[in-house]
Amino acid sequence: MAKKLTLPLTKTDIATLRAGESVLLSGEILLARDAAHKRLCDMLERGETLPVDLENATIYYCGPTATPPDRVIGSAGPTTSSRMDAYAPMLIRLGMTAMIGKGPRAAAVVDAMVECGCVYFAALGGAGALLASAFVSVEVAAFPDLGTEAVRRAVVRDFPAIVAIDAAGGNAYDVTIDNGQ
């Protein structure tokens, strides 16, 4: 049975999560991909104020497709998280508490997660149309010139995910296969 979580996550919520657990996320998330992550980190390096608050934020690595007239968002599947690995430690240290994407993460990202109390959720790749049904509202929050890669603020209800890497470093991607050799 999936654990229901309300975003933003508290430190208590994060501390109780374990790699491999199924969750249903409800609340506000930010959608951002590589171009937006690069721009955010470039702004930080120049000492500029970010256009979105990352304190206690959950970022979903997603660039949705065009929105059909009867929906709040188009297909909204996860992108490969390693594309954000160069930027994630900096954003985690700003107070981001959760990330959603697909695929394993670099050691530097996991180290920052353990240091700061952050969790990484995996969403089902190839199921963007299904995942879109969990979105209640979506609006562009920053960088509209980036098109599909603009930062979006969204509200989700019962968004399905799996705890891929927990705040203690437990990692669902670390699998040892015993093939009898």
CATH at 29: 3.20.130.10
Question: pLDDT per residue over 29-59, tens digit each?
Answer: 999 999 999 999 999 999 999 999 999 999 9
30: buried, middle or exposed (CB in 10 Å: 19+, 13-18, 0-12)?
buried
Q: For residue 181, tell me if it sits in a domain.
A: no
Residue 178 domain flag: no
Phi then psi for residue 65, to 5 deg, are -80, 175
Task: Using alpha carbons, select from 39, 9, 3 the residue that is nearest to residue 22.
Answer: 3
Q: The domain containing residue 121 runs over which residues? A: 3-165
Task: Indicate the burial class of 34 (C-beta count within 10 angstroms; 0-12, 13-18, 19 or more).
Answer: middle
Question: Residue 64 burial (CB < 10 Å; 0-12/13-18/19+)?
Answer: buried
> How much is the average pLDDT of 1-5?
94
DSSP code per residue over 140-178? EEE-GGGGGGSEEEEEEEEEEEEEEE-TT--BTT-----
Can you tell me which residue has the tokens 């590589």? Answer: 34
Confidence label for 176 from pLDDT (cuts 50, 70 and 90): low
Given a cut of 60, is residue 165 above it in pLDDT? yes
**What average pLDDT does this structure show over 92-121?**
97
Q: Does residue 173 belong to any structural domain of this protein?
A: no
- The CA distance from 150 to 88, in Å, is 17
Q: Pick the more confident residue, 1 or 61.
A: 61
Q: Is residue 63 part of a domain?
A: yes
Amino acid symbol at 70: D
130 part of a folded domain = yes
Q: Out of 45-49, 52-56, 100-104, 127-131, pick the least confident.
A: 127-131
Domain assignment of residue 18, yes or no: yes
Return the percentage of the chain with pLDDT > 70, whole number: 96
pLDDT at 160: 98
Mean pLDDT of 167-177: 83
| pTM of structure | 0.94
Supply angle C-alpha 152, 74, 163, rounded to 5.
Answer: 65
Q: Supply the DSSP symbol for 108.
A: H
Number of domains in the chain: 1
Query: What integer best gives the mean pLDDT of the chain?
Result: 94
Whether residue 175 has pLDDT greater than 80: no
Residue 177: per-residue pLDDT: 47
Examine residue 59 and state whether it is found in any structural domain, yes or no: yes
What are the two backbone dihedrals, phi and then psi, of residue 38, each rounded to the nearest 5 degrees? Answer: -60, -45
In a domain, 131, yes or no: yes
Does 5 score more than 60 pLDDT? Answer: yes
